[in-house]
């Protein structure tokens, strides 16, 4: 039996204000993936989604990603900056 290596299918997509959100499914991998790209920030992320939560993640990608500890945009940059001491 041969397993397809590129059987990803786009289930849904939407675009607006430089933001593209797409939901993909692979039968062979038995996975659903959410892809979010922000052209304004020139950033993107991909996150695996449980099938039961696919539409929630598609309609609320930033809330879904934040709930899993993934930052995006300024939230990601701020989390990477070490805290500065306020003592002089």
Give the residue extent of every domain in the chain: 9-69
Q: Which of 28, 18, 22 is nearest to 10 (CA)?
A: 22
Residue range 59-81: average pLDDT?
A: 70
CA dist list (Å): 30 to 27, 40, 42, 53, 62? 5, 32, 29, 14, 23
pLDDT tens track for 33-42: 999 999 988 8
pLDDT tens track for 17-59: 999 999 999 999 999 999 999 998 888 999 999 989 999 999 9
């Amino acid at each position: 039996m041969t397993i397809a290596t590129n059987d990803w299918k786009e289930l849904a997509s939407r675009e607006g204000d430089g933001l593209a959100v797409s939901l993909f499914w692979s039968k062979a991998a038995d996975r659903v993936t959410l892809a979010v790209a922000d052209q304004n920030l020139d950033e993107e992320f991909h996150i695996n989604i449980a099938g039961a939560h696919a539409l929630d993640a598609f309609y609320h990608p930033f809330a879904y990603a934040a709930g899993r500890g993934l930052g995006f945009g300024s939230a990601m940059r701020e989390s990477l900056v070490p805290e500065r001491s306020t003592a002089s």
